[in-house]
Structure formats: C-alpha cells, structure tokens
Amino acid sequence: MTSDRELVIGLVSVSDRASGGVYEDKGIPALSDWLAQAITTPFRLETRLIPDERAEIERTLADLVDTARCHLVLTTGGTGPARRDVTPEATLAVGTREMPGFGEQMRQISLRFVPTAILSRQTAVIRETQDHAALIMNLPGQPKSIKETLEGLKDDAGNVVVGGIFAAVPYCIDLIGGPYMETNPLVSKTFRPKSALRPPAASRKTE
C-alpha cells in the first residue's frame, strides 16, 4: 500500500438547491474553513458540488479516491429521511468496509445541539483499492453542523463537553496507509496511542 506523501482531502457538497444555483453553497466553504483551522500538515483539496443523485454521488466518491487519490473524503448533505436523501446509500455502495463509530458519535454530538440529530443516517466507510485507501465520512447538510460534528462541544472554559469526530481521523488515516496528519490542538486534539506518536513535524529533520 502506498503512503502518497501529499495529504489530499476531497470535499463533496450534496445539495439539489446549491448545485442548481437556487442558493449559494455554504457546505464546501464551511468544510474548507474548518480544515484550514484544524490541520497543520500541508494538504490539497479536491472539491465537488453535486445534486442528490445516487449514481452521481457514487461516481464522485469513487473518482476522488481512485483517481484524485484522496486519503480523506468528507461529504455534507443528503443524510436525512427525505426521499432524495441518498448520500449514506451511495457511501455504503462505494465502501469496502463500514466504520459505524463515526456516525454514532456524530449523532451523540449533534444531540447536544438539535433534537433532530437522530434524523441523520450519516455513516463512514473505508474504500480500498489495490494500492490505496481512503476514509469517507458523511456530515449533515446544515452548514453549521460541520464545525459541530468535527470539533465537538467545549464549555466556556474550553473544556471538552463532547468530543468531535476529527480527533480520531488522523490515526485512522495512519492505519490505512495514508500520510501522518497533525492538527492544532486548540481546534481538534488528535488522539493516537503512544506507540503511534511521532515527534512534531517542526522538530523532524526528514520525513
């Protein structure tokens, strides 16, 4: 399995109205702004804005992993119970392994914000090809839910009330053969077992 050196992250906004120009897409900007605050390792983004069409979602996710060689793909939108909400089905269809813990934790976090958190069917998967793998995670469509689920909730003193899912993402990317990702602990404190820790990038001579 290759560990391509440059961290590549795919962002997919799934919205009939934003992709149709009815309203401006706020999903991709919310995702890219949060990642820019959270990740200190250099990374490149691949972004896509598409309608709630299952075949198009599947094609987009597969292309981002297999051709664009993303290590992580975040979707926003289309996780609810409405007839056109099909992002989880498309995600499960392209995944080789389900990672149900991410969806479970996101619903726990979101319940701190809205009672309708349980309406999101969001999930996560690993997509593995012969020489590459990526983590694909679904976030709800409401733009403010992006920071909420990735970062979690802190009290006024900065203590964690409920942990965000992103804390577990860098170690997951390690385990599937991707690049070593570092984060700003004030935004998202990465957890890795001691045996998986490397010295901070600033003090590493070679990578």
Ligand X SMILES: Nc1ncnc2c1ncn2[C@@H]1O[C@H](COP(=O)(O)OP(=O)(O)OP(=O)(O)O)[C@@H](O)[C@H]1O
Binding site for ligand MTE (CB under 6 A): 77-80, 85, 110, 113-114, 116-117, 119-120, 140-142, 145, 148-149
Instruction: Select the residue interacting with ligand X from 88, 103, 143, 164 (CB under 6 A).
Output: 143
Nearer of residues 80 and 177 to ligand X, judged by Cβ: 80
Instruction: Select the residue interacting with ligand X from 9, 12, 18, 150 (CB under 6 A).
Output: 18
- The 8-class DSSP code of residue 126 comes to E
User: Of 65, 85, 83, 66, which Cα lies nearest the Cα of 74?
Assistant: 65
Nearer of residues 110 and 183 to ligand MTE, judged by Cβ: 110
Q: Could you count the other beta carbons within 10 Å of the beta carbon of residue 5?
A: 8
Applying CB under 6 A, does 13 fall inside the site for ligand X? yes
Applying CB under 6 A, does 110 fall inside the site for ligand X? no
Applying CB under 6 A, does 54 fall inside the site for ligand X? no
Ramachandran quadrant class, 176 (left: phi over 0; alpha: psi -120 to 50; beta: rest)? alpha
- The answer to whether residues 105 and 160 touch, using CB atoms and an 8 Å cutoff, is no
Return the axis-axis angle of helices 27-38 and 144-151, rounded to nearest 10°: 30
27 binds, among ligand X, ligand MTE, none (CB under 5 to 8 A by kind): ligand X
Residue identified by tokens 């009330």 is 161
Q: Which residue is nearest to ligand MTE (CB)?
A: 141
Q: Give 14's strand partners.
A: 50
| Two structure tokens written together for 171 | 């170690």
119 binds, among ligand X, ligand MTE, none (CB under 5 to 8 A by kind): ligand MTE
Residue identified by tokens 């793998």 is 133
CB of 36 to ligand MTE, least distance (A): 20
CB of 160 to ligand MTE, least distance (A): 16
